[in-house]
Chains A and B, each alone.
Chain A
Amino acid sequence: MNDDFRKWWAVPAIIVPAAIPAPAFAVQYLTLEQAQQALFPEASQFGSQPVRLTPEQTRFVEKYARVRMRGTEQPVWRVEAAGRHVGWFVLDEVYGKHEFITYAVALDASGAVKGVEILDYRETHGGEVRRPEWRAQFTGKRYGASLQLGEEIKNISGATLSCKHISEGVRRVLALHQAALK
């Protein structure tokens, strides 16, 4: 701890009580259909073709991707444009300590990553339910005036998870393609 900090800003502008109530943060960027359209604008057909891995394939994926497979079934769509197979659309989810992300990976016909789009981002509920005394403290003040119930939260400053989970997820999707879609 830096003591200069104490000297310079000895008095906090405000003290926020321990349990800050916060609504769970969640945002939907794309629906499934929108994500398919965004990643394969040229496509004429998305054929649902979920992949069920055999125990042997699961072992292959876990070894190649160096991550654990949670479920055995992966939602996958075979993508066609003008009657020709142009790639795969794979829907996947990752969990962090505080967050839950749904995203889609587009693979071209050769299995190379063509794009990644986030569909949903959700953070788990951090605090308790809203406490009136906390809300009163901020009413009319510069700190947010008030945090409305159901208010749309945007612009959070301060990192979310690192992209590590998504990178691992994409690696798993590539291994899955190798094991079951080639």
Chain B
Amino acid sequence: MIDVRRARPLLGTLVEIAIHDDLPPATAESVICRAFAAVARVHALMSYHDPQSELSCLNRGAFSEAIAVSDETWQVLTAARQLSEASGGLFDITIAPALADAGFLPQHAGESRASADGAWRDVRLLPGQRVRFAREVRLDLGGIAKGFAVDQAIATLQEAGVVSGEVNAGGDLRVLGRPAHRVYLRHPGQPTSLLPVMSHHAAAATSAGYFQHRHHDGRAYCPIVHAGTHTLCDARRSVTVFADQCLIADGLTKILYADPERGSSLLERFRARAVILEPDNHSGDCRVFDSAV
């Protein structure tokens, strides 16, 4: 039994891929390289920051004409639409302008002003994997692309016949070959402290403001926009969602972060579980809310 574990900087975070199997070490290494390549491909297609990405091409041109996209981008856009429909628009990939205004995303030179009343419904998914914007919206797939990249890397391991392994992209993770496993959650007020939680779902994703919040008017905000109000969410809480697919876990964290009540009503439908951690600023205690309890 070997245990090969590698990490590379990708998707704006550290991506870790591990294989525990009987494979020859050289084979495991090459499978891990292919899994990293799958993650890098998602990054190249869906980066908001890269003007050459397929996503940037959509943001520039899909209002004037329908643009055909890759299988991967199509899958992510289709899943995004499902999450938007299920959540009544709480999940919305057209919130890029609000994130850019808050400094979480770059303002691209020469880009036109996005339509103020644009929303997820304005992203039309047409036959032939073509995409057309009904209004001048701008998309950011940061809310699910990382989860999707994890799923793609796991698929690469599966296709190579790997029995047991795991992929963790900056805290969005999925294991292969273990029905129950332990996931460590960070204390939102003290992020190097870890809380172990047993999971029966393969994937987990966390949204929290502890490493990337910004201060504004004396409050801390995280890069999650409440799609109903177009305002940024409070950064004190952490939301972890456990699901079978990392893309779903990743997307649901955004919904639960913005609206735990509405979000929690979707957990059953997506066969997911949520754990919310909330620190008490006075006592320093951490409250744990678990939908599975």
Interface string of A118-141 (1 = CB under 8 A from B): 100101111100000000001000
What is the size, in residues, of chain B's interface with A at 8 Å between Cβ atoms? 65
* B residues 258-282 touching A (CB-CB < 8 Å): 258-262, 264, 276, 278
Among B8-16, B60-68, B119-127, the one that faces the other chain is: B8-16
Quick check: B264 and A9 within 8 Å, CB to CB? yes
A5 CB, nearest partner CB in chain B, Å: 4
- A12 CB–B CB distance under 8 Å: yes
Bound-state CA distance A163–B285 (Å) is: 30
Quick check: B7 and A118 within 8 Å, CB to CB? yes
With A9-B289, A15-B287, A143-B288 in contact, is A155–B182 under 8 Å at CB?
A: yes
- A1 CB–B CB distance under 8 Å: yes
Quick check: A29 and B6 within 8 Å, CB to CB? yes
Residue among B186, B198, B206, B291 facing the most chain A CB atoms (10 A cut-off): B186
Bound-state CA distance A29–B191 (Å) is: 22
- A98 CB–B CB distance under 8 Å: yes
Among B74-82, B92-100, B128-136, B170-178, the one that faces the other chain is: B170-178
With A4-B262, A142-B197 in contact, is A158–B191 under 8 Å at CB?
A: yes
- A30 CB–B CB distance under 8 Å: yes
Interface string of B185-210 (1 = CB under 8 A from A): 11100111111111000001110101
Q: Looking at chain A's contact residues, is the secondary structure mostly helix, strand, loop, or mixed?
A: loop
Contact of A157 among B173, B258, B262 (CB under 8 A): B173
Quick check: B9 and A38 within 8 Å, CB to CB? no
| Residues on the A chain within 8 Å of B27, using CB | none
| Residues on the B chain within 8 Å of A38, using CB | 6, 29
| Residues on the A chain within 8 Å of B8, using CB | 116-118
Bound-state CA distance A14–B277 (Å) is: 10
A9 CB, nearest partner CB in chain B, Å: 4
Q: Looking at chain B's contact residues, is the secondary structure mostly helix, strand, loop, or mixed?
A: strand
Interface string of B1-41 (1 = CB under 8 A from A): 00001111110111010100000000001000000000000
- B203 to chain A: closest residue by CB: A157
B224 CB, nearest partner CB in chain A, Å: 12
| Residues on the A chain within 8 Å of B114, using CB | none
A169 CB, nearest partner CB in chain B, Å: 9
Quick check: B194 and A30 within 8 Å, CB to CB? no
With A9-B264, A29-B6 in contact, is A158–B206 under 8 Å at CB?
A: yes
- A167 CB–B CB distance under 8 Å: yes
| Residues on the A chain within 8 Å of B187, using CB | 16, 20, 126
- B290 CB–A CB distance under 8 Å: yes
A sample of 25 inter-chain contacts (CB < 8 A) reads A2-B260, A2-B261, A5-B261, A13-B288, A14-B287, A14-B288, A17-B285, A116-B9, A117-B6, A126-B192, A143-B195, A147-B194, A154-B18, A155-B168, A156-B168, A157-B171, A157-B184, A158-B240, A159-B171, A159-B210, A160-B171, A161-B211, A162-B170, A163-B9, A166-B9
Binding site for B on A (CB under 8 A): 1-2, 4-5, 7-9, 12-22, 24-25, 27, 29-30, 38, 98, 101, 103, 116-118, 121, 123-127, 138, 142-145, 147, 153-163, 166-167
